C-alpha cells in the first residue's frame, strides 16, 4: 500500500504547477484514500509469477488513475449525483462540476501517458507496451467500464435478470479489475494457460467485489462506507439483493469467491497475495 501511495504521489503533477486548480482537483481525487485494490492486483499478479520491478509502478498507477477518474465522473450530478466519496466531499462538490470533469479527463490521459512511456523507463519491449495499452483501453471503453456505466444508467427503474445484472457489472466494475490482473500477468511473462486462469480469477473477483458492495449498501451506513449509501443515492437501480434476494446474493458471493480461489489454486504458495485479495474483497466492511 505504501508503495502504491508513493508511486501515485510521484505520478501526479504538483499542486502549484499551472493550471493549479486542475492539478489540485486531480490530486484531491486520487490521493484521498481508497482501497487500492486494482494496483494491489497488479503487484500481486506479478509477484505470483516471480516478477518485481520498478516498471510495475507505472502499471499500478495507470489502473488506479483510471479508477479515480471513473469515480469523479460517476459522482457527477448527471450520473449518480453523490456528495460523499472516501469519507470526504466529492470532487465536484469541492472544485465545481466543470473542473471535476476536466480532472477526470486529465487523469484518464495521464494513465495512458504512464503506460506509453513505460518502455523508455524500464526497457519494456514496444510490442508489449502496445499490448498493455490495448488492455487498458478496452477495459475503460464502450466494451468495458464506460459501457457498463451506460448499461447502469439505462437500468434505472428497470427489472433485470441475474445474467443481465452480472453482464453490466462485469463491464462496469469487473473490466478494470481484469485489466489490473492482465497487466500484471503480461509484466510477469505469464504464458497463455496462466493468463487464462488469471482471467477466470479476475472475472469472479470483479463480480464478488460488486456483490459485496451491494450487500454493504443495504447493511452499511454512509459514515462507515465513506460514501453515500446506495439505498439513499440510487434506490431505483437494480442490485443483486433486489434481483435475487439477500440469501441468494450471499450464496452467489460465496460461489464466486470459491471460483476465484480455485482459478489460482495451481499457483500454490506463489498465489498467496491473490488469495488474500479475493478474501478481502468478499469480506470487507467498506
Rounded mean pLDDT, 263-277:
97
User: What is the share, in percent, of the chain residues with pLDDT greater than 70?
Assistant: 92
Rounded mean pLDDT, 158-176:
96
Lowest mean pLDDT among 102-111, 115-124, 249-258, 267-276: 115-124
Phi/psi at 227 (5° precision): -150, 170
Say how far apart CA 271 and CA 286 lie, in whole Å: 24
Cell of 135: 488492455
The predicted structure's pLDDT at residue 65: 98
In terms of Cβ atoms closer than 10 Å to its own Cβ (0-12, 13-18, 19+), residue 193 is exposed
Confidence of residue 124 (pLDDT cuts 50, 70, 90): low
pLDDT at 231 over 80: no
Rounded mean pLDDT, 212-224:
77
pLDDT at 33 over 60: yes
Say how far apart CA 24 and CA 103 lie, in whole Å: 9
Q: What is the CA radius of gyration of the chain?
A: 18
The predicted structure's pLDDT at residue 220: 64
Can you give the pTM of this predicted structure? 0.92
pLDDT at 232 over 50: no
Lowest mean pLDDT among 90-104, 117-131, 199-213: 117-131
Cell of 141: 471503453
Q: How many residues does the chain have?
A: 286
The predicted structure's pLDDT at residue 54: 79
Confidence of residue 233 (pLDDT cuts 50, 70, 90): very low
Say how far apart CA 234 and CA 157 lie, in whole Å: 10
Say how far apart CA 109 and CA 103 lie, in whole Å: 10
Lowest mean pLDDT among 185-194, 211-220, 245-254: 211-220
Give residue-wise pLDDT tens across range 143-165.
999 999 999 999 999 999 999 99
The predicted structure's pLDDT at residue 227: 60
pLDDT at 90 over 50: yes
> Hey, what domains does the chain have and what are their CATH numbers?
2-283 (1.10.600.10)
Amino acid at each position: 500500500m505504501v508503495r502504491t501511495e508513493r508511486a501515485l504521489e510521484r505520478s501526479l503533477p504538483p499542486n502549484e504547477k499551472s493550471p493549479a486548480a486542475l492539478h489540485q482537483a486531480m490530486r484531491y481525487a486520487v490521493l484521498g484514500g481508497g482501497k487500492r485494490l486494482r494496483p494491489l492486483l497488479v503487484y500481486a499478479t506479478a509477484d505470483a509469477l516471480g516478477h518485481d520491478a520498478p516498471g510495475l509502478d507505472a502499471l499500478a498507477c495507470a489502473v488506479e488513475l483510471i479508477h479515480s477518474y471513473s469515480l469523479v465522473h460517476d459522482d457527477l450530478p448527471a450520473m449518480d449525483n453523490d456528495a460523499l466519496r472516501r469519507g470526504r466531499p466529492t470532487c465536484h462538490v469541492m472544485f465545481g462540476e466543470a473542473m471535476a470533469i476536466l480532472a477526470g479527463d486529465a487523469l484518464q490521459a495521464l494513465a495512458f501517458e504512464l503506460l506509453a512511456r513505460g518502455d523508455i523507463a524500464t526497457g519494456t519491449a514496444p510490442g508489449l507496451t502496445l499490448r498493455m495499452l490495448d488492455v487498458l483501453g478496452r477495459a475503460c471503453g464502450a466494451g468495458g467500464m464506460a459501457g457498463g456505466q451506460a448499461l447502469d444508467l439505462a437500468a434505472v427503474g428497470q427489472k433485470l435478470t441475474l445474467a443481465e445484472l452480472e453482464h453490466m457489472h462485469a463491464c462496469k466494475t469487473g473490466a478494470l479489475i481484469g485489466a489490473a490482473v492482465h497487466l500484471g500477468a503480461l509484466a510477469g511473462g505469464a504464458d497463455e494457460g496462466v493468463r487464462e486462469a488469471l482471467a477466470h480469477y479476475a472475472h469472479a473477483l470483479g463480480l464478488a467485489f460488486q456483490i459485496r458492495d451491494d450487500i454493504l449498501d443495504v447493511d452499511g451506513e454512509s459514515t462507515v462506507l465513506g460514501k453515500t449509501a446506495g439505498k439513499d443515492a440510487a434506490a431505483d437501480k437494480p442490485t443483486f439483493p433486489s434481483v435475487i434476494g439477500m440469501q441468494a446474493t450471499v450464496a452467489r458471493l460465496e460461489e464466486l469467491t470459491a471460483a476465484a480461489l480455485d482459478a489460482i489454486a495451481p499457483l500454490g504458495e506463489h498465489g498467496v497475495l491473490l488469495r488474500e485479495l479475493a478474501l478481502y474483497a468478499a469480506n470487507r466492511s467498506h
